[in-house]
Amino acid sequence: MTTFDEILPIAGEVLAAHHAFVTQLDWLVINRDLNGRVRFIVPEQVEVDDDARQQIETLYQTLATRISPHAHPAESGVLYEASRDEVCSGTANYPLEEFDTVWVVDRLATEGNWAQIAPETEGASRIVFFSIKGGVGRSTALAACAWKLAQLGKRVLVLDLDLESPGLSSSLLPAQRQPMYGITDWLVEDLVDNADGVLDDMVATSELSQDGQIHVVPAHGANAGEYIAKLGRVWMPKALSGTSPEPWSARLRRLLQALEVRLQPDIVLIDSRAGIDEVASSCVTELGANLVLLFALDGSQTWSGYRILFDHWRRARVAEHIRERLQIVAGLVPESSPVAYLSDLREQAYDLFIETVYDEIPSPNDVESTRQSTEGWNFDLAREDAPHMPWAVRWHPGFAALRTLHGRLHQIDDDVIRHVFGDLIGRIMRDVGLDDGYPKVIEGGAF
């Protein structure tokens, strides 16, 4: 029996056995359809060249026999198309390992493919708060950062993109300040060209702001309305006349740009959904984030989840477009033995990075014999500025089981914020160049 995961390794073997023929082709696409069945797609010139056509059909037959049931009948297993760009358009696609002209094209039932990495934005820094598991203190940390940054005079824009489990905005805003609309309303109205009407009424200013401002854009308005019916439509691509539809992540980017133009924030904090979820995929990879905070608790669930994601980036050959923006954050660092806890977490994170997205550094002997460069994107275990070196948020009884963070932040003591979130806030400010006066970062030794 052949299962899905064996398709590409077997395809690699079969194609390698016919290397000379495969490299003659301008391109070859291994198309995995929605049901996980494979077809070859090759340039249309191949169809009119009897010899080449016969060879590609035989090659497909060889592959189909080995990967059945993940193949089509041989007679419909090869398609001929004019352009690879058109075949790849709107899909998750990447070159097959070891081949430069063979592309894997995946047709997915969902849009979130995690491999479309938008370049970093050049305006106000966008910071995404993400975690593989829920309940790691992500939204609370975001709210505390917003509070502190505003207190330091910054204009902060906060977006609640945890659409399926909204709540951040209610922790930053009391009920009477919730705006009329939220992100889901904008995304639904945009489908019928009615979004401008809601833009003015989807932002609230938190009264927690003192010297600066916190603008909060909630997932839904004061009255959630028909939330489920709206949520089921937010992912819709927008039909545009005369051109291909605009994917929902591009619509979300457009919303963010409109908000930034209107509010001119110094920094944008985005609460993403946890897990390998479609909205999270957009937040992490498609919003042009400058910094992606990967919240982690030390435990096998966290690391196996991140490994799936990092492996996917490596396989899809996009790791280098995203890795410099990644940063591990240790959430809820326990009160007892924090140093040992952080040290263990750092080792787990290091193993993850070194096995997936860090460049391999050849050993000095190899360098000697092959004259390879020793350069590469790689950090030692103990390097302070490495992405695997956890920024820490401490567990604190004052934040456990809060009913509303809003109430808590109202009376919070600055020393407590600094104790719990100071490391995270200080490092964020340094990272995005807003470091103008917040006390020095708590270094590892303080734990």
Residue 274 interacts with ligand ATP (CB under 6 A)?
yes
- Residue 77 interacts with which of Mg ion, ligand ATP, none, CB < 5 to 8 Å by class: none
Would you give the binding string for ligand ATP spanning residues 188-217, x where CB under 6 A is met?
Answer: ------------------------------
Considering only residues 127-156, where is the footprint of ligand ATP by CB under 6 A? 131, 134-140
DSSP-based three-state secondary structure for 368 = helix
**Residue 30, beta-bridge partner list:** 40, 104
Considering only residues 381-400, where is the footprint of ligand ATP by CB under 6 A? 393, 395-396, 399-400
Q: For 93, what's the count of Cα atoms within 13 Å in the CB-facing half-sphere?
A: 19
Min dist CB 73 to ligand ATP, Å, is: 46
* Smaller CB separation from ligand ATP, 379 or 395: 395
Which tokens hold the place of 412? 């919070």
Q: For 162, what's the count of Cα atoms within 13 Å in the CB-facing half-sphere?
A: 22
- Residue 277 interacts with which of ligand ATP, Mg ion, none, CB < 5 to 8 Å by class: none
Strands annotated E in 165-259: 204-205, 213-217
What is the size of the binding site for ligand ATP (CB under 6 A)? 20
Residue 299 interacts with ligand ATP (CB under 6 A)?
no
Q: What's the rounded Cα separation, in Å, for the pair 179 and 248? A: 23
Min dist CB 168 to Mg ion, Å, is: 6
* Smaller CB separation from ligand ATP, 137 or 247: 137
Residue 169 interacts with ligand ATP (CB under 6 A)?
no
Buried b (16+ CB within 10 A) or exposed e, 112-144: bbbbbbbeebeebbbbbbbbbbeebbbbbbbbb
Which tokens hold the place of 423? 């490391």
Min dist CB 123 to ligand ATP, Å, is: 26
User: Which residue sits closest to Mg ion, CB atoms considered?
Assistant: 139
The answer to whether the beta carbons of residues 184 and 126 sit under 8 Å apart is: no
Q: What's the rounded Cα separation, in Å, for the pair 282 and 263? A: 22
Q: Which residues contact Mg ion by CB under 5 A?
A: 139
- Residue 232 interacts with which of Mg ion, ligand ATP, none, CB < 5 to 8 Å by class: none
User: 163 CB contacts (<8 Å, ≥6 apart)?
Assistant: 183, 184, 219, 231, 234, 273, 279
Considering only residues 407-446, where is the footprint of ligand ATP by CB under 6 A? 420
In the complex, which residues of this chain contact ligand ATP (CB under 6 A)? 131, 134-140, 162, 165, 274, 332, 393, 395-396, 399-402, 420
